[in-house]
Each structure stands twice: as structure tokens, then as C-alpha cells.
Amino acid sequence: MDLWSLEPVALPAELEALRTNVRAFLAGELAAGRIASRCDQWLGGWDPGFSRRLGERGWIGMAFPERYGGSAAGALARFVLTEELLAAGAPVAAHWIADRQTGPGLLRFGTEEQKQAFLPRIARGECFFAAAMSEPDTGSDLASVRARGTRADGGWRLSGTKVWTSGAHRAHAMIVLARTEPRTADRHAGLTQFIVELPDPAVRIRPILLLTGEHHFNEVVLDDVFVPDARVLGEPGSGWHQVTGELAMERSGPERILSTFPLLAAAMDDLAERGDQAGAARVGTLVARLWALRQASLAVAGRLDAGAAPAVEAAAIKDLGTRFESVVTDTVRLLSRVVPDPGSDRRLPRLLAESILHGPGFTLRGGTNEILRGVVAKELGVR
């Protein structure tokens, strides 16, 4: 089975300099009070100013070629950067989708004009994207999308309703998955990805608040939106292939392991202050698993860097990693005996509250764990 060819990589020593620089930069941002450390900031931490400061340093679109504003540093350098940002609990949500999936998608499938139009702006931290895939009746079964694209003069007209569209209300553009041919026996055929620039009078965006009350998700109604041919991403009809490739590649990043890391870190000083000896073994169990998950996530980055597409490995690691994120929450909750309090000005109660209330999302976003295990079962030959 191909699964077993996943091997650890040793990070090249030159990336230590990058790590040191990122740490120094983050320490400065935190000390100056420009950012605060919170849990799950790649979902909730929308801070265009911070994104722009990262862009100035060349820390968005690191894997883009230089002619599009990137530094062609590769997947391992991007891994080091992103894990440092996540471990610090920095607010990276604004540029996250653009950096992680839109950029690579444009690089692989976009026209030269599209690359020129978007990639340098993404890399500068000035252009944010949303991903409009899910619909009211379409979550895990993405092939069942109903949003329609119909041919029009010089382009396409899109109609339909998208949901759970992260950040659509603040993004500069979104990638919409729509059906452009009648459904046939091959459910995966006839889907197309479109770049819709925002705002657009024919796009209505309505907030759907998270259970924390935060505005992150949206319902997006496409009411006969015109999209010129120049804004079709890739070949019409190959949307399924593009979208699943995108999802598969991005499943095992450090964000699938570190959403609650700021909470775990905060618990260390608390345990030390209270001299909790008994808590050490339980903390150690978490540290062990986190260490191993990080090695596995890094191993996938190593395969990506080498040009492979370790989609099944990524699915398996996302399943393990996202379950771990909530084990952290529960362990710290039980060990610290702190009452979670979203409004607290003390660190631990606040981080604990964030982790609990954001917890349900960890094992849903990017494909549910049941679906991911289905992907692995297929590789094992039983499905």
C-alpha cells in the first residue's frame, strides 16, 4: 500500500533562519499589542493589517514563483512559516484561503492573465479569497451542487445559493463551484469553477453567525451573476477534479493540528504555578501525540515539495489531527479546573472558551472525519 511510503523529512538547516525571523517578528507584534494570541485564528482571526505586514516580508504566497510576487521557497518553508504563525495564535484568517488554496489553484489551472491579476496582490496581502463550494443540500456530497452556470454572451451567468462561505463578506473575490452541464450518470462531470469578484450587485451575502456569535460564515445568493470567460478557472467541466485536488493537497497542514495549541501552551505556566505533578503525565501524552502528528504533517509537506500528491496520507493525518485538537481542549479543561469564560481578561479561561466553542468545526471543515476515513478505506481496498 502506497500509504506506507510516507517518510519523515529532516528540515533543511537553512530554514532555521526563517524560523528565527518569524519568531522575532511575532514576538515584536505581540509585545507591541498589535496582535493577541488566540485559538483557531486561521478561522477567526481576520486582520488585514497583519496580513499586509506578512506580505511585506514575503510571507504570503511563499510557494509562488518570483514573477508572481512569491519567493518560490517551497512547501517546507511554507510549513515552517505557517506552523510558527499558528503556534503563536496569530490572526491569519484574512489571507488563509488565498494563500493555501486559491494561489496554488491559480498557478495550476489559471490563465496567464488571471495569474498576473491575482497572485501578486495575494502575495502582498491585499487580495483575500473565499471558497464557495457548500450549499444548503450539499456538504459532504459536493458532486450534488445545484448552483448553475449557463452560457451567455462572452461569459456565463451563475444562479444558486452557497452556504458556510467563510469570509465572503470581506473577501475581494470568491471561487464558485457550479454545474454547467446537465447531470449525467457521471456525477463528477460537468462542474466548473468561476472567479467571482466582490462586491457584485448580483451577489447577496447574508451573515450566518457561529455559535460564538462571531460573523464568519455566510449565505451567498447568486442572482444571475455575470462572469466573463476570462474569469473561468481552468477548463469548463473539470471543476470536480480541480476542487478535490485542491482539498486533498491542503488537508494535512499544521492548521489541522495546532488550532488549540495556544491553549495547550497557556496551560504549562498554570500547571507550574499550581505545582500539579499528577498533571504531567497527561500533558506528556498530548506532547507525544502532537510531536508525532507534526512529524507526519511535515512528512506530507516533504512529499508535496517533491512533487507528489499524498492525498490519502493527508486524509488520514487530518482525521487524527483534528480529533487531537479537541483532546487538547478536554485535557486542559480537566487539568486546569478553570471555568471557561469568553469575556475573561485572563488568558486560560478565555482560550478554553474559544477552544470549546470552536471545537465542533475542527472535525467538519475541509471534509468530515467520516468522509476522510472513507477516503482511507478506499485506499485499503475495502470500499
Partner 1 sequence: MNETIAALVATVRDACAERSGTGAVTACADGGWNAGLWAALEQIGITTVAVPEEQGGSGGDITAAVAVLEVLGEYSAGVPLAETALLAGWLIATCGAAVPSGPMTAAIAGPGLRTRREDGGLSVRGTIARVPWARHAHRLTVLDNDQVIVLERGGFTLTRGTNLAGEPRDDLHVDAVVPASQVHGLPAGSPVSVQAFRSRAALARAGLMAGAARRALELSVAYAGEREQFGRPIGRFQAVQQHLAAMAGEVLLAKVAVESAALAFAPRGDADLAVAAAKVVAGETAGVVASLAHQIHGAIGFTEEHALRHSTTRLWAWRDESGNEDAWSEILGRRAVSAGTGGLWPLLTRTR
Give the binding site for partner 1 (CB under 8 A).
3-4, 6-8, 10-11, 19, 83, 87-88, 261, 264-269, 271-272, 279-285, 287-296, 299, 313, 316-317, 319-320, 370, 372-377, 379-383
Strand, coil or helix: 156: strand
Q: Which residues have a Cβ under 8 Å from the Cβ of 117 and sit 6 or more positions away? A: none
For position 331 contacting ligand FAD by CB under 6 A, the verdict is no
Nearest to 232 by CA among 106, 69, 61: 106
For position 364 contacting ligand FAD by CB under 6 A, the verdict is yes
Q: Which is nearer to partner 1, 4 or 345 (CB)?
A: 4
* Whether the bond into 199 is cis, omega within 30 of 0: yes
Q: Which of 165, 297, 331, 336 binds ligand FAD (CB under 6 A)?
A: 165
For position 370 contacting ligand FAD by CB under 6 A, the verdict is yes
For residue 120, give the H/E element and its range.
helix 112-123
Strands 173-179 and 129-132: parallel
Binding range to ligand FAD, per CB under 6 A, among 8-16, 131-139, 278-286, 328-336: 131-139
Nearest to 343 by CA among 330, 327, 333, 354: 354
For position 212 contacting ligand FAD by CB under 6 A, the verdict is no
For position 166 contacting ligand FAD by CB under 6 A, the verdict is yes
CB contact at 8 A, 178 and 190? no
User: Which of the listed partners (ligand FAD, partner 1, none) does 166 bind, with a CB threshold of 5 to 8 Å by partner kind?
Assistant: ligand FAD
User: Which of the listed partners (ligand FAD, partner 1, none) does 364 bind, with a CB threshold of 5 to 8 Å by partner kind?
Assistant: ligand FAD
Distances (CA, A) of 159 to 10, 50, 102, 130, 184: 48, 35, 22, 17, 20
For residue 91, which amino acid is it? Answer: P
Of all residues in the chain, what percent are helix, strand and coil, respectively (each to 5)? 50, 15, 35
Q: Which is nearer to partner 1, 104 or 279 (CB)?
A: 279
For position 376 contacting ligand FAD by CB under 6 A, the verdict is no
For position 43 contacting ligand FAD by CB under 6 A, the verdict is yes
For position 371 contacting ligand FAD by CB under 6 A, the verdict is yes
Q: Which is nearer to ligand FAD, 165 or 331 (CB)?
A: 165
Q: Which is nearer to ligand FAD, 134 or 161 (CB)?
A: 134
Angle at the Cα of 282 (from 6 to 357), degrees rounded to 5? Answer: 80
For position 45 contacting ligand FAD by CB under 6 A, the verdict is no
Q: Which of 58, 365, 376, 379 binds ligand FAD (CB under 6 A)?
A: 365
For position 260 contacting ligand FAD by CB under 6 A, the verdict is no
- Using the Cα atoms of residue 191, residue 197, residue 202 and residue 204 in order, give the sign of their dihedral: positive
User: Which of the listed partners (partner 1, ligand FAD, none) does 293 bind, with a CB threshold of 5 to 8 Å by partner kind?
Assistant: partner 1
Nearest to 218 by CA among 149, 122, 134, 92: 134
Least distance (Å) between residue 321 CB and partner 1: 10
- Using the Cα atoms of residue 71, residue 72, residue 77 and residue 79 in order, give the sign of their dihedral: positive
Q: Give contact residues for ligand FAD (rule: CB under 6 A).
A: 43, 131-134, 139-140, 164-166, 361, 364-365, 367-368, 370-371, 374
